[in-house]
Amino acid sequence: MMTNNAGRSYVVTALIAFAFLLAWHIGVQTTSSGGPPLDPEYAKLMGATATTGKSPMPGPLDVGAKLAEHLSQPFYDKGPNDKGIGIQLAWSVLRVAMGYGLAVLVAIPLGFLIGMSPMMNRALDPFIQLLKPVSPLAWMPLALYTIKDSGKSAIFVIFICSIWPMLINTAFGVASVRKEWLNVARTLEVGPFRRAFTVILPAAAPTIVTGMRISIGIAWLVIVAAEMLVGGTGIGYFVWNEWNNLSITNVIIAILVIGVVGMILDQALARVGRAVTFPE
């Protein structure tokens, strides 16, 4: 019965995708321009949108062909401003890894401290609540001005945006460890370090990992915006560069690729989450 249900859901997914692609394909069909014929010299200087009434929106076939072209040579390097999509992705993932890694290193120990002391929790709460909703792009000018390096600024922005969910979740997880377990530890005269690592950490791990999972999603959202701003390399720069060329085809490809990578990152942490969950 389970497998049957799963099989049916796959069929529905495929049907929805097919219906979407078909609607898209029909939606962008060329509308014949009813206007008077153009002077051939003039027509030669104009784009297809203006002369043949071709929709500026590419169809799924255009996107597919372009995607195949990108995937056939993902690592080409034609100078500082034109690199393959594989290289651009690698840059973005590297930046995310660095910013996010730093955030993990700071958020989890700090979250532990906040979670273990209700006083600190209340004292720091206003700051966290104030800084949490700030958009990545709002941090950028400040980062560029103070750090004086665009690459490091991008990493800083990822750091500052992805730290909050982890911090809050760690603090919450640590604070809500069952009193009974702590009391048992106290009765057995367990030292503070041992209590932190063998009682609190395993108990809070599922909540912490959930925070990490939210954070990686945010980090991946931020990288595109940050790279669009600083330029140079990365998938965000790719989107910006293709926007500059008004190439909707490439922008759609970038959206697809960003989605796939984001999904992979999210699923990786979901797996970690399952590994640390425990039945009560």
Partner 1 sequence: MSIFRDASDYRLRLRSGCSCGAHESQAAHDAAPVSGDNQIRRVVEGAILRAMFPQDEARRNFLRTVGASTAMAAISSIFPIAAATEVFAQGAKPERTDIKVGFIPITCATPIIMAAPMGFYSKHGLNVSVDKAAGWAVIRDKTINKEYDAAHMLSPMPLAISLGIGSNPVPYTIPAIENINGQAITLAMKHKDKRDPKQWKGFKLAVPFDYSMHNYLLRYYLAENGIDPDADIQIRSVPPPEMVANLRAENIDGFLAPDPVNQRAVFDGVGFIHLLSKELWDGHPCCAFAASREFVTQTPNTYAALLRAIIEATAYASKAENRKQIAEAIAPANYLNQPVTVVEQVLTGTYADGLGGVKRMPDRVDFDPFPWESFAVWILTQMKRWGQLKGDIDYQAVAKQVFLATDATRLMKEAGLTPPTTTTKTFSIMGKPFDASKPDDYLKSFAIKRG
Which residues contact partner 1 (rule: CB under 8 A)?
38-39, 41-42, 44-47, 49-51, 56, 78-82, 141, 144-145, 148-150, 228-232, 237, 240-246
Q: Which C-beta is closer to partner 1: that of 100 or that of 237?
A: 237
Q: Which C-beta is closer to partner 1: that of 79 or that of 126?
A: 79
- Minimum distance from CB of 73 to partner 1 (Å)? 13
Nearest alpha carbon to residue 58 among 224, 249, 214: 249
- Minimum distance from CB of 52 to partner 1 (Å)? 10
Q: Which helix (H) or strand (E) holds 193?
A: helix 192-195
Q: What is the DSSP letter of 57?
A: S
| Amino acid code (one letter) for 280 | E
Q: Which C-beta is closer to partner 1: that of 107 or that of 143?
A: 143
| Amino acid code (one letter) for 95 | R
The two three-digit tokens of residue 63, written as one number: 């996107």
**215 neighbors 100 (Cβ within 8 angstroms):** yes
Q: Which C-beta is closer to partner 1: that of 170 or that of 241?
A: 241
Rg, the chain, Cα only: 25
Sign, CA torsion 47/50/56/60: negative
- Minimum distance from CB of 67 to partner 1 (Å)? 16
Q: Which C-beta is closer to partner 1: that of 43 or that of 98?
A: 43
The two three-digit tokens of residue 241, written as one number: 């560069």
Q: Which C-beta is closer to partner 1: that of 29 or that of 277?
A: 29
- Minimum distance from CB of 135 to partner 1 (Å)? 17
| Amino acid code (one letter) for 80 | P
| 105-141: burial string, b at 16+ Cβ within 10 Å, e else | eebbebbbebbbeeeebeebeeeeeeeeeeebeebbe
Q: Which C-beta is closer to partner 1: that of 168 or that of 257?
A: 257
Q: What is the DSSP letter of 77?
A: B
The two three-digit tokens of residue 164, written as one number: 């909050």
- Minimum distance from CB of 241 to partner 1 (Å)? 6
- Minimum distance from CB of 71 to partner 1 (Å)? 17
- Minimum distance from CB of 76 to partner 1 (Å)? 11
